[in-house]
Amino acid sequence: MHAFASVDTEDISTNTSANEAFQEIVRRAVDRRGFLKAGAGLSAALFLAGPLAACASRGRGPESALLGFQGIPAATDDAVAIAPGYTATVLAPWGTPLLTGAPTWKADGSDDAASQAMQVGDNHDGIHFFPMDGRSDEGLLVINHEYTTVENGEYIWLFGRERRKALNPERVAKAMNAHGISILHVTRNAKGKWQVKPRSLYNRRITASTQMKLAGPAAGAAALRTRADPSGRRVLGTFNNCGNGWTPWNTYLACEENFNTYFGSASQSDTRTAAQKRYGIEPGATAYGWEKFAERFDYAREPNECNRYGWIVEIDPFDPKVQPRKRTALGRFKHENAAVTLAADKRVVVYMGDDQRGEYLYKFVSEAAFHPGRYNPDLLDAGRLYVARFDDDEVEGDLMGRGEWIPLDKAANPDLAADIRFANQADVLIHTRLAADAVGATKMDRPEWVAVHPHSGEVYATLTNNDKRTEVNAPNPRKENIYGQIIRWREAGGDAAATAFEWDLFVLAGNPAVYTDRLDPKSGSANITPDNMFNSPDGLAFDQAGRLWIQTDGKYSNRGDYAGQGNNQMLCADPVSKEIRRFLVGPAECEVTGISFTPDSRTLFVNIQHPGENGNSHWPDGGTAIPRSATLVITKDDGGIVGT
Ligand code: FEO
Ligand code: CA
Ligand code: CA
Ligand code: CA
C-alpha cells in the first residue's frame, strides 16, 4: 500500500530473528547456476530457453502462441493505455452510489460518513467476479477498499482544504466507511456496457465497523478477548483489505494487510509487547488517527484489539445474512492475497504471502475435503498451517533448489511444542510470525500475491522488492533489491498438499536500459528487455488458458533506476517461454491491482488504486477533478478472449 508518502510500513522490517543460515548456500547456487548471468552467453542457456534469446537480441517479443496481443510502450500520461484492439472503461469509482438511497457523489469529496457508508469505498484493491448461474453478463463484483490516503493528496475530506490535523469523529467515521469491501450486482447490457444494477438487494457495503465473527481454532482465546467482547468471538469490521481470494464454494476472501498502522496510543509510555512490535505496531499516534476517537484502536487501553486483525475474512457475497468470518486457522500476519486450490484428495489448500521485508510464504491445508454440490461452510476452520523454507540443493533439470513446508502446529512441531511463548495452538495462530521465526522459515523480499497455474498446479509468487536486503539467499539473490522478482515452485507429486517442493525464479525484474551490462544483477533476468521492463511486481493471476498476468506497485518516477519504466502497469507472461509483454499502463501515480475474469474470459476486471497519490492526477474524470480509484472493465474490441 501507499498509505503514507514518507513511511511505507511494509518497507520497515520488524523481523529480527536469525534465520540467515543459508545466505552462503545461496550465493553458491547463484554462482553455480550462473543465474544472474542470463543473457550473457554460455551461462545464459539455463535461464533463457530458445526463443528468449531472440527476445533479448531483437528487443521485441517472439511470437508466444499464448500471448496474442501487441505489447505497448511504457508511458507517463495521466491516462490508461492498453494494447491495440482492446478497450478499458471505468466502473464503480470511489463514491459511486451503491445502496438504495445513496446520494450522488459530491465532486469536491465532501460527502459525509453516512453517505460514504452507502457508496463504493476508496482505494480499490482485490477483486472477484462471482457469476450468476455461470453467466458472463451478470454477477456479483466484490472489491476490497484497502485504505484511505492520509497525508499527501488528501481526497476523502475536501481535497486541498482539510488535513488530518482537522480530524474529528465525523471524519474518522467517514474514513472507516471508505474502508472494507463493496459487493456490486453488475450486469452487461446489450451494447456491452457493464453497470451496477440499481436497487439490487445484493448491493452491499462491509466497513471497518461491520459486525463479524472470529472463527476457527483461535476464536475465544484469551488474547482475542476485549472489554467490548469478552467472548473473543465477535469483532467489529475489517480494514486494510489488500489482495483477495475466492473459494470453490463461491465465497470471497478479503485479506487484512497493514492492520498495525491503525493501532496507536496517546499514552506517553510505550506499552507495546514484543509481539506487538513484531507485528509493526509503532509507539504514539497513527497517521489515521482512529485511536483518538475510538478507544479500541488505542493499544494502551485495549491491548488485545489489534490481535483481532491481520486475518483472512471469508464473506458470502450471495447471502447478506451470513456474518463475515475471520478464519483464524489461516494465521495472523500482513496478509496479501489467498490463492485457493485443491489437493489431490480435494482438501482445500490456500497459499498466502506476508508482505513486509523479510517475511514469509505460507500455506494452509484443510482437514476435510471439498465436496462439490454440498454445503461447505467451515472448511477453512480446521487444518494445518505451514511456512516455507527454501533450500539450495542440487535439483535435476532447471530448478534452483528444493524446499519444505514446515508445520506451524504446536502438537506436530517439536520446536513449537517446547516453546513456552505458545501455550496452545491458538497462540501459534495469533502470533504466526513468531512461530514462523522459531522454525527457520526463509525470509523473503516482501511476498505479495500468489497464483496457481490452472493446469500444472505450479505456484507463482511476487516478491515485490526489498531495497534494504543486505545479505542474499537463493530465492532473494540480490542485495538492495529495488526491482523485485517472481518465484515459482512445484509441489512434490504435483499435489498441493505435499510438504516438499522444488522451486526456481521465473523473472528478476530490472532495468536493462540503464544497466546495459547483462552481468549486472540490476539488468534483470534475460526475459526482461528495454521494451517490457517494470519494477515491483505485486498483483498476480493466471487466466484459464494459463497466461500469467502481472501487476505492478512500484516506483513511477521514470528517472534514474526507473528511467523508461513509466507508470505502474499490467503485463502478461507465457509461463513456458517466459516471454513477458506489457498489456496496460495505468494513470499517473497509481498502482494496478486486483484481477478477475468472467467465465468466458471475455471481460477482465482490474483496479486502478490511488491515482494521484501525491496530488498529480485527475483520473478518471479529467479536468481539475479529484482523482478516484476505480475498476477498469477490459474487453477485446472483436469480442474475443482477453489476452489473445
Ligand atoms: Fe497492499 Fe502488499 O500490498
Ligand atoms: Ca496498494
Ligand atoms: Ca499489493
Ligand atoms: Ca505492493
C-beta 448 within 6 A of ligand 1: yes
Reference 421, options 406, 439, 403, 405; nearest CA is: 439
Residue nearest to atom 3 of ligand 1 (CA): 1
452 CA to centre of ligand 1 in angstroms: 19
Ligand 1 neighbourhood includes 146 CB (under 6 angstroms): yes
Our answer on whether the CB atom of 1 is closer than 6 Å to any ligand 1 atom is yes
Average pLDDT of span 601-621 = 96
Q: Is the pLDDT of residue 20 over 50?
A: no
What's the pLDDT at 157?
75
Q: How high is the pLDDT of residue 162?
A: 54
- Per-residue model confidence as pLDDT tens digits over 283-292: 999 989 999 9
Ligand 1 and 359: CB distance under 6 A? no
* Average pLDDT of the segment spanning 390-419: 85
Ligand sitting nearest the alpha carbon of 255:
1
What tens digit of pLDDT does each residue of 373-393 get? 877 889 999 999 999 999 977
Q: 27 pLDDT exceeds 90? A: no
**pLDDT per residue as tens digits for the range 209-222:** 999 999 999 999 99
Handedness of CA 520, 523, 528, 530 (dihedral sign): negative
Sketch out the chain's domains with CATH numbers. Answer: 9-58+70-257+310-636 (2.120.10.30)
- How do residues 314-340 score in pLDDT, each as one tens digit? 999 999 999 999 999 999 999 999 999
pLDDT at 56: 36
pLDDT band at 9, cuts 50/70/90?
Answer: low
Q: Is the pLDDT of residue 28 over 80?
A: no
Provide the pairing of β-strand 312-315 with 252-256. Answer: antiparallel
Contacts of 158 (CB under 8 A, 6+ apart): 108, 109, 110
The one-letter amino acid code at 309 reads Y
What is the average pLDDT across 166-189? 94
pLDDT band at residue 149 using 50, 70 and 90 as cut-offs? confident
How large is the average pLDDT for residues 396-413?
A: 85
Q: How confident is the model at residue 8 (pLDDT cuts 50, 70, 90)?
A: very low
> Atom of ligand 1 at shortest distance to CA of 334?
2
Cβ 437 under 6 angstroms from ligand 1: no
Q: What is the pLDDT of residue 396?
A: 57
From the CA of 355, give the closest atom in ligand 1. 2
CB 523 within 8 A of CB 505: no
Ligand 1 in contact with 302 (CB < 6 A)?
no
- pLDDT value at position 159? 53
pLDDT exceeds 70 at position 7: no
Which residues have their alpha-adjacent CB atom under 5 A from ion ligand 3?
448, 538
Question: Cα of 126 to ligand 3 centre, how many Å?
Answer: 8
Between CA 555 and CA 12, with CA 19 as vertex, the angle to 5 degrees is 30
Ligand nearest to the Cα of 535, by number: 4
pLDDT in tens, 445-496: 999 999 999 999 999 999 999 999 999 888 999 999 999 999 999 999 999 9
Cα(639) to ligand 4 centroid in Å equals 32
Q: Given the CA of residue 240, which atom of ligand 1 is nearest to it? A: 1
Q: How far is the CA of 255 from the centre of ligand 3 (A)?
A: 10
- Ligand 3 centroid–CA 243 distance in Å is 6
CA–centroid distance, 541 to ligand 4, in Å, is 15
Ligand 1 mean position to 448 CA, how many Å? 6
Give the number of whichever ligand sits closest to the CA of residue 240: 1
CA of 449 to the centre of ligand 1 (A): 8
Mean per-residue pLDDT of the chain? 90
Which atom of ligand 1 is the closest one to the Cα of 353?
2
- Percent of the chain exceeding pLDDT 90 equals 81
CA distance 505 to 340: 21
Ligand 1 contact, 257 CB (< 6 A): yes
Ligand nearest to the CA of 609: 2
593 CA from centroid of ligand 2 (Å)? 7
Q: Which atom of ligand 1 is nearest to the CA of 553?
A: 3
pLDDT per residue over 245-267, tens digit each?
999 999 999 999 999 999 999 88
- Is residue 507 within a helix (H) or strand (E), and if so which, with residue range? strand 500-508
Instruction: Judge if the beta carbon of residue 445 lies within 6 A of ligand 1.
Output: no
In this prediction, residue 463 carries a pLDDT of 98
**Ligand 1 atom nearest 242 alpha carbon:** 1
Asked whether 450 lines ligand 1 (CB < 6 A), one says: no
At 395 the pLDDT is 60
What b/e readout covers 531-546, taking b as 16+ CB neighbours within 10 angstroms? Answer: bbbbbbbbbbbbbeeb
| 119 close to 112: Cβ distance less than 8 angstroms | no
**Could you give the CA distance from residue 608 to residue 140 in angstroms, rounded to a whole number?**
19
pLDDT in tens, 114-126: 999 999 999 999 9
Please tell me the number of Cα atoms within 13 Å of 550 on its side-chain side.
32
Atom of ligand 1 nearest to the CA of 336: 2
State residue 392's pLDDT score: 79
Percent residues over pLDDT 70 in the chain? 87
For residue range 527-574, what is the model confidence (pLDDT) as tens digits?
A: 999 999 999 999 999 999 999 999 999 999 999 999 999 999 999 999
